[in-house]
Amino acid sequence: MTPARSTFGSQSSLREANGERLLEAIRQFGSITQVELSGATGLSPATVSTIVRQLIAAGRVETRNTIRNGRRAQLVTLAHRSGLLVGLQIGARSLRVAISDTSFEFLDQRELPLPIDHRYDTTLDRAAVLICELTEELGSTLSEILAVGIGLPAPVDPLTQTISVPGILRGWEDVNAAQILRERLGCVTVVDNDANLGALGEMRFGAGRGLKDVVYVRASHTVGAGIVVNGSILHGALGMAGEIGHSLIDPQGPICRCGSRGCLNTKCSADALIESLRHAHAPTTLTDILSLAEAGDPGCQQVLIDAGAAIGGVIANTAVSLSPQAILVGGDLAGVGDLFIDPIREAVRRRVILAHSEDLLIQTAELGSAAELYGALALAADHANVTTSNS
């Protein structure tokens, strides 16, 4: 009896492993025929056919007829649960796109570099082309896209859907990115600040699940925050709620991109960190600083500790005003962990009124660099009236 149970277990494990091989091949190629699946995985056509039927029954894949080399064939794609959602994050130096079904499972994602002070028209054109390419590679059409959510690294007026403060994202003033992409793609499109989307992503899928009052800090090329009050994102009249990067920390400090003097971003932005290391050595990117800090470089570690302390001071004031349940720290700088997070914790705990709040959680955000993309997908789903178990 024991050998029979062992054989059954082995066969079951083999089927599961072969199923995952097929799914990985479909994810890689987007859409692929059963004959091509056989060649890509090394499984026999009969085995592929059997597994595809099982995956169809489980709702994991879909098939439709196509023509290959003049012959009819079965094209296999990942199942799209009632349509597609697109999340788009436009940053200071990169463009990121994720496509999911309504279960918020990423079907594909891509990242492209962007030049400094990139033009809105070129960037949005590239975004539209990339969305079209990814949709086609999934074996889908633009008509299957339910909605697109866009994150921008600047405050967005919730009424006009445009950037509300000139200079922060140069050349994008008075640009309605949602409208432009809506015209190019022909689907529902909505835009918000990237830190707000990071907060939304963490609330729906990450460390903020089950909480109602949260401050999400996004520390990357610039610093911002998404504020959640009673379960909803706080935008403010012009979408400037959470713009902690423009909090005053030094009345005699340098001029910020926003036009004010001594903003937090003049000390903690990527450009400020690079400049502060100019006499020690010459890291040229934020990625360089983070890599060197993780490798033990004392200068790079020190600038991250200083940045954490400065951000922590501003966050402490914010927390006194809002009394959140949790402070979640995301963005590139959070990737180095406690080296950056501990100075934030220390600054918050130094405020006596907060020190007595033993239940205040201060931790690294759970979703990492994907938080803003998940938030963009959630924003898209909300505007497409999509209801899922995750939301």
- Given a cut of 70, is residue 188 above it in pLDDT? yes
Which CATH architecture group holds 208-366?
Answer: 2-Layer Sandwich (3.30)
In DSSP terms, which residues pair with 110 in a beta bridge? 97
Q: Which two tokens stand for residue 256?
A: 């910020």
> pLDDT at position 82, please?
63
Name the β-bridge partners of 191. Answer: 150
Q: Residue 186 to residues 74, 81, 189, 211, 292: CA-CA distances in angstroms? A: 29, 20, 9, 35, 45
Q: What pLDDT score was predicted for residue 81? A: 62
Question: Helix axis angle, 371-383 relative to 194-205, nearest 10°?
Answer: 90
Cβ 96 vs Cβ 110: under 8 Å: yes
Find, among 305, 315, 306, 178, the residue nearest to 244 by Cα.
315
Topology agreement, domain 84-198+371-383 and domain 208-366: yes
Asked whether the beta carbons of 350 and 382 are under 8 A apart, the reply is no
Cβ(264)–Cβ(223) below 8 Å: yes
Pairing state of beta strands 106-113 and 94-101? antiparallel
8 pLDDT above the threshold of 80 = no
| Percent of the chain at pLDDT exceeding 90 | 64
What six digits make up the tokens of 330?
């995301």
What are the extents of the domains in the chain? 11-78, 84-198+371-383, 208-366
Distance of CA 294 to the CA centre of its chain: 23
Q: Within 13 Å, how many C-alpha atoms sit on residue 378's CB side?
A: 24
User: What are the tens digits of pLDDT across the range 135-166?
Assistant: 988 888 899 999 999 999 999 999 999 999 88
Q: How far apart are CA 179 and CA 200, in angstroms?
A: 22
Which whole number is the average pLDDT over 38-46?
A: 90
pLDDT at residue 30 is higher than 60: yes
- pLDDT of 160 reads 92
5 has a pLDDT exceeding 50: no
Q: Residue 299 corresponds to which amino acid?
A: G
Confidence of residue 79 (pLDDT cuts 50, 70, 90): confident
Over range 54-80, report the average pLDDT.
80
Of 203, 169, 193, which Cα lies nearest the Cα of 374? 203
DSSP string, 201-218: HHHHHSTTTT-SSEEEEE
| CATH number of the structural domain 84-198+371-383 | 3.30.420.40
Write down the pLDDT at residue 1.
43
Strands 214-219 and 326-330 come out as parallel
Residue 388's Cβ-side half-sphere holds a number of Cα atoms within 13 Å equal to: 22
Using CA atoms, how far apart are residues 365 and 334, in angstroms rounded to an integer? 8
pLDDT for residue 137: 87
| Amino acid found at 121 | D
Task: Write the secondary structure of 252-306 as one string of H (helix), E (strand) and C (coil).
Answer: CCCECCCCCECECHHHHCHHHHHHHCCCCCCCCCHHHHHHHHHCCCHHHHHHHHH
Q: What is the pTM of this model?
A: 0.80
Report how far residue 304's alpha carbon sits from residue 310's, in angstroms, rounded to the nearest whole number: 10
Please say if the pLDDT value at position 187 is more than 60. Answer: yes
Q: Which two tokens stand for residue 154?
A: 């600047």
Q: Which two tokens stand for residue 125?
A: 């054109």
Cα–Cα distance between 148 and 381 in angstroms, integer? Answer: 8
> Taking 50 as the threshold, does the pLDDT of residue 3 lie above it?
no
> How confident is the model over 171-181, as a mean pLDDT?
93
For residue 243, what is the enclosing H or E element? none
C-beta of residue 163 within 8 angstroms of C-beta of residue 154? yes
pLDDT for 248: 94
Which of 41, 39, 81 lies closest to 58 in space, CA to CA? 81
Residues 337-378 have pLDDT tens digits of 999 999 999 999 888 777 667 778 999 999 999 999 999 999
11-78 CATH: 1.10.10.10
User: What integer best gives the mean pLDDT of the chain?
Assistant: 89
Residue 204: burial class (beta carbons within 10 Å; 0-12, 13-18, 19+): buried
**307-330 tens-digit pLDDT:** 999 999 999 999 999 999 999 999
Pick from 13-22, 289-298, 340-349: least confident: 13-22
CA angle 181, 170, 161 (to 5 degrees): 40
Alpha-carbon distance of 110 to 103, in angstroms, equals 19
Whether 391 has a pLDDT exceeding 50, the answer reads no
Mean of the pLDDT values across residues 282-293? 87
**pLDDT for 388:** 45
Confidence of residue 201 (pLDDT cuts 50, 70, 90): very high
